């Protein structure tokens, strides 16, 4: 009788320990090794990683926006308001559409600006900088 009682108590005790261990099962943070309750990182490092992801996303968005939105808008405006080709100094030609030439004036170093040019004039110039 005494032996049976002890064995039941032992089973309950063991199941409580197992529950306790499973409930407190923790993984170490990938960055600092502090044990965390679920997830791969402690709260502090999880926030930091999220912050970095957001910053990276914002930077990429800003960069692509520069080239898709604003650049395209500026190039369109240059084409639509073109009066004189900046390469040959003559006006519009029926079979030579305007393009926005990505001109880099020598005196401005790396500063680039968009100027209207005939498609053929722009193709003739290629990638040579302005003189
Ligand atoms: Zn951490
Ligand atoms: Zn021209």
Residue 130 has pLDDT above 80, yes or no: no
Q: β-strand 98-103 against 113-118: which pairing, if any?
A: antiparallel
Q: What is the pTM of this model?
A: 0.43
pLDDT in tens, 24-61: 667 888 889 888 877 788 888 999 988 988 888 777 76
Q: Which residue has the higher pLDDT, 77 or 23?
A: 77
Q: How far is the CA of 123 from the centre of ligand 2 (A)?
A: 10
Q: How far is the CA of 48 from the centre of ligand 2 (A)?
A: 54
Give the pLDDT confidence score for residue 107 in this predicted structure: 56
Q: What is the distance between the alpha carbons of residues 7 and 15, in angstroms, rounded to a whole number?
A: 12
Give the pLDDT confidence score for residue 35 in this predicted structure: 85
Ligand nearest to the CA of 125: 2
Give the pLDDT confidence score for residue 9 in this predicted structure: 82
Q: How far is the CA of 27 from the centre of ligand 1 (A)?
A: 11
Q: How far is the CA of 37 from the centre of ligand 1 (A)?
A: 12
Ligand nearest to the CA of 121: 2
Q: How far is the CA of 129 from the centre of ligand 2 (A)?
A: 16
Q: Is 85 exposed, middle or buried (0-12, 13-18, 19+ CB in 10 A)?
A: buried
pLDDT band, very low/low/confident/very high, at 74 (cuts 50, 70, 90)? confident
Contacts of 79 by beta carbon, 8 Å cutoff, 6+ apart: 97, 98, 99, 100, 116
């Amino acid at each position: 009788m005494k032996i049976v009682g002890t064995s039941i108590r032992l089973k309950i005790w063991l199941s409580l320990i197992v529950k306790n261990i499973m409930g407190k099962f923790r993984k170490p943070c990938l960055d600092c090794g502090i044990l965390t309750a679920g997830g791969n990182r402690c709260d502090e490092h999880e926030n930091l990683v999220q912050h970095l992801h957001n910053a990276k996303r914002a930077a990429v968005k800003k960069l692509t926006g520069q080239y898709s939105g604003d650049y395209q808008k500026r190039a369109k405006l240059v084409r639509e308001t073109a009066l004189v080709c900046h390469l040959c100094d003559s006006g519009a030609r029926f079979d030579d559409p305007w393009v926005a030439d990505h001109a880099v004036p020598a005196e401005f170093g790396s500063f680039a600006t968009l100027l209207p040019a005939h498609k053929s004039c722009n193709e003739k110039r290629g990638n040579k900088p302005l003189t």
